[in-house]
Amino acid sequence: MIKIKWFLIYFIFTTAFLKGQNILVWSDEFNGTELNTNNWSYELGNGCPNLCGWGNNELQSYTDNNENIKVQNGHLIITALNTGGNWTSARIRSLNKFDFCLGTIEVRAKIPEGRGFWPAAWFLPSEYYYGIWPISGEIDLMEARGQEPEKTLGTIHFGPLFPNNQYNGNEYVLPSGSFADDFHVFSIEWTSESIIWKVDGVQFSEKTRADVGDFRWPFDRNFHALLNCAVGGNFLGNPDGSTPNQGDFEIDYIRVYQNPINMIISGPEAIIRSNDSQKFYTQDIPGYTISWSVPDGTQILSGQGTKEVLVQWGFSSGNIEAIYTNAQQFAVLSHFVQVLPDSCSEVFDDRNEFVRLYWVGGDGGYSAFADNPLVNALNPSQQVSRYQRNAGSQYDVLQFLTDLIKNATPFEIESYKVQVKVYSSAPAGTEIQVLFEKRGLLSQPFPIGRRTILSAFTTATNQWEILTFEFVTTPDLNLLANEIDQFTVLVAPNTFTNPVLYFDDWAIKEVPCLIASSELVSKETSILEVHPNPFSSQIKITSEHDANFVLMDISGKMIFQSSNSTVMQSFLISDIPQGIYLLQAQSLKDLKTIKLIKN
């Protein structure tokens, strides 16, 4: 019996040790006599000039006046007020004062009753990492229509740009009475895979990754809280003669709870090898320390011991880890990062294992997942993407966001190239362009916001082929190479045609391949030898066949070439810097590449 008791004690202790607990990490109880500006900032006006009517044709102008917002008797009171036909109200947010990702969030509140009143507790992205609204998401914890005070709604917004934006939500109806009669607790339980809505502890909705369909689940980075009471607009209609001149949205508290074992690491899912540093972060939880671990070859530049680190990633894919520790508990968070290219050509979007391109808008009709029109040896995949060009658009665009390509430089110096498999109904010779752009600038005339243009031409009709895009130009040199956030495809630019195209296996090709050793790249058996290697001033090449030789630096820039060289040749190359070079030998039989080291 004693052994059994000790086992039970050990089991209970270990379970508690691993489960962790929900910890109150931030709250505002609205005690005192004024708004705590350490937690909140005001948003003022009517949204103009950039978002007049706050994007919904709302009537109110927001102020920080005491008649519209005050703290008293332990409550925050936001008042929508009609003065001579002009509506004023208040809106506050926690942006850059408290930003958070995941957890249980509670708001205890009472809403105003009256047609046109629109109280809300909701969350917006703090950094718009994936793109402007709604691409980076929106979470509505609670919103209500004043003319239906017995109902509340919980909703997520996501997907492509307006007018193709998406939302998914449910409503809850009180069994009796209305939300204007008394205070109720509205809450969400937000995890990496789902969001659950509750009213007074009763669940009424759950949305998971499956509920965003083909679009990106953007709820994996920091958001911030907003509290406001709008008036009128598209969502619920404008006030009428029955609407009182004053409506009070009263909030008792807002509380955020988090558990270290339920946190995630926010950061890129895939990166291109470059000199750019990468930011990864998680959440501060009171009482816990955070330490970070990265793969061999990867360096933490700053932030060790804090919630955010800046990382110089190495050459290999792997996991970055954050370890939460206190006296009794620990939790290890892990985040996998795909580093591309891992080899000479690496797929970053195959519609199956890797999905790194997310459609956000364009002119034609796009299906993210479609049946392969011709399953063959070149493309045995069952699932591909499909696009039909819009014949009414002279410069038809297909716009994607990607967490991968954030810097155009490697493509402009042509150390990397973009490849894709294409099946097209267009005639051979049809041009396809890839543009690296900054989305927020594209409303301005060309070339503003268009950093890089790559181009390829089809060679077949209704057949799979592999296209490699060549660098063409940089139209907007005022846009920095590391400021791009959109991957755009143009099909048959400067035409009015409507071909159907299928895409698969988007890849990054390294030019030339970075070779890990001095072994021959070619798998053929013919002889190609270079002596000495490493060299200082002269190399001697021995080849089984007559060949053309090209010496390149590691970026692919040609140093010299020799045509129709004999099977034995010496070259004096003493005037190049120390470093790594590639020698290519092209004969009638094959193509071989050797890595050379100049010392």
Give the highest mean pLDDT range of 1-15, 483-497, 521-535: 483-497
Residues 446 and 351 grouped into a single domain: yes
pLDDT band at 382 (very low <50, low <70, confident <90, very high): very high
- In this prediction, residue 265 carries a pLDDT of 98
Q: What is the pLDDT of residues 272-330, one digit of tens each?
A: 876 678 999 999 999 999 999 999 889 999 999 999 999 998 878 899 999 999 988 88
Looking at the fold, whether 336 and 255 belong to one and the same domain comes out as no
Identify whether 1 is part of a domain. no
Binned at pLDDT 50, 70 and 90, residue 512 comes out as low
Average pLDDT over residues 385-411: 92
Q: Is the pLDDT of residue 102 over 50?
A: yes
Residues 404-427: tens digit of each pLDDT: 888 898 899 888 899 999 999 999
Is residue 130 predicted with pLDDT exceeding 90? no
Q: In angstroms, what CA-CA distances link 196 with 193, 330, 567?
A: 10, 26, 72
Residue 2 in any domain: the answer is no
Residue 74 lies inside a defined structural domain of this protein: yes
Is there a single domain that holds both residue 490 and residue 461? yes
Q: Read off the pLDDT band of 332 (50, 70, 90).
A: very high
Residue 27 within any structural domain of the chain: yes
Please identify, among 445, 478, 510, the residue that sits at the C-terminal boundary of a domain: 510
Q: For the chain, give the percent of residues with pLDDT over 70.
A: 88
**Domain finish residue from 307, 340, 373:** 340
Which residue(s) pair with 549 in the sheet?
A: 562, 585
Averaged pLDDT score across all residues of the chain: 88
The band of 518, judged by pLDDT with boundaries at 50, 70 and 90, is very low
Looking at residue 5, its pLDDT comes to 33
Choice between 11 and 225, residue whose per-residue pLDDT is larger:
225
Which range scores top for mean pLDDT: 158-162, 403-407, 500-504? 500-504
H/E segment holding residue 290: strand 289-293
Half-sphere exposure of 121 (CA within 13 A, CB side): 24
Give yes or no: residues 418 and 532 share one domain.
no
Task: Give the span between the Cα atoms of 395 and 429, in whole angstroms.
Answer: 17
Mean pLDDT, range 14-18, rounded to an integer: 37
Tokens coding 42: 């005001």
Residue 76, in any domain of the structure: yes
pLDDT at residue 12, rounded to an integer: 32
- Beta-bridge partner residues of 543: 528
Identify whether residues 350 and 327 lie together within a single domain: no
Burial of 572 (0-12, 13-18, 19+ CB in 10 A): exposed
Whether residue 143 lies in the annotated active site: yes
Question: 516 falls in which pLDDT band (50, 70, 90)?
Answer: very low
Q: Does residue 588 register a pLDDT over 60?
A: no
Q: Would you say 527 and 559 are in contact if contact means Cβ atoms under 8 Å apart?
A: no
Question: pLDDT band at residue 371, thresholds of 50, 70 and 90?
Answer: very high
Q: Same domain for 364 and 332?
A: no
- Which of 161-165, 274-278, 493-497, 511-515 is the least confident region? 511-515
What is the percent of the chain with per-residue pLDDT over 90, rounded to a whole number?
Answer: 67
Which of the listed residues 260, 275, 309 is the one where a domain comes to its end?
260
Q: Which of 58, 106, 113, 143 is catalytic?
A: 143
User: Which pLDDT belongs to residue 121?
Assistant: 98
- 503 and 556 fall within a common domain: no
Q: Residue 517 pLDDT more than 50?
A: no
Q: Cβ distance 412 to 406 under 8 Å?
A: no
From residue 125, alpha-carbon distances to 134, 139, 367 in Å are: 10, 9, 27
Residue found by looking up tokens 């109720």 in the block: 184
Residue 264, pLDDT > 90, answer: yes
Is 11 inside any structural domain?
A: no
CATH code of residue 582: 2.60.40.3080
Average pLDDT, integer, range 463-478: 94
Of the listed 58, 113, 138, 437, which one is catalytic? Answer: 138
pLDDT of 575 above 60: yes
Per-residue pLDDT at 304: 97
Q: Which DSSP state fits 535?
A: B
Query: Is 459 found in the same domain as 490?
Result: yes
Clarify whether residues 206 and 97 are in a common domain: yes
Separation between Cα atoms, residue 322 and residue 308, nearest integer Å:
10
- Residue 8: pLDDT band (50, 70, 90) is very low
CA 256 – CA 100 distance, rounded (Å):
9
| pLDDT confidence bin for 164, thresholds 50/70/90 | confident
- 553-571 pLDDT, tens digit per residue, is 655 566 777 755 556 677 7
Same-domain pairing of 394 and 461:
yes
User: Quick one: 505 and 533 in the same domain?
Assistant: no
Confirm whether 58 is a catalytic residue: no
- What CATH number does the domain containing 421 carry? 2.60.120.430
pLDDT at 301: 95
User: What average pLDDT does range 188-216 have in this prediction?
Assistant: 96
Per-residue pLDDT, averaged over 114-126, amounts to 98
Q: Which amino acid is at 287?
A: G
Is 521 part of any domain? no
Which pLDDT does position 526 carry in this prediction? 52
| 14 φ, ψ (degrees, to nearest 5) | -65, -40
Can you give the pLDDT at residue 344?
58
- Please write the tens of the pLDDT for every residue from 38-96: 999 999 999 999 899 999 999 999 999 999 999 999 999 999 999 999 999 999 999 99
Q: Tell me: pLDDT of 136 over 60.
A: yes
Radius of gyration of the CA atoms of the chain, in A: 30
Distance CA 596, CA 555 (A): 14
Residues 6+ away with beta carbon under 8 Å from 517? 595
pLDDT at residue 3, rounded to an integer: 34
Instruction: Note whether 594 and 533 are same-domain residues.
Output: yes
For residue 520, pLDDT beyond 50? no
pLDDT of amino acid 250: 98
Q: Look at residue 555 in the predicted model and tell me its pLDDT.
A: 52
Please count the structural domains in the chain: 4
Average pLDDT over residues 100-121: 98
Question: Which CATH number characterizes residue 292's domain?
Answer: 2.60.40.10
Kindly report the CATH number assigned to the domain that includes residue 149: 2.60.120.200
Domain range holding 550?
528-598
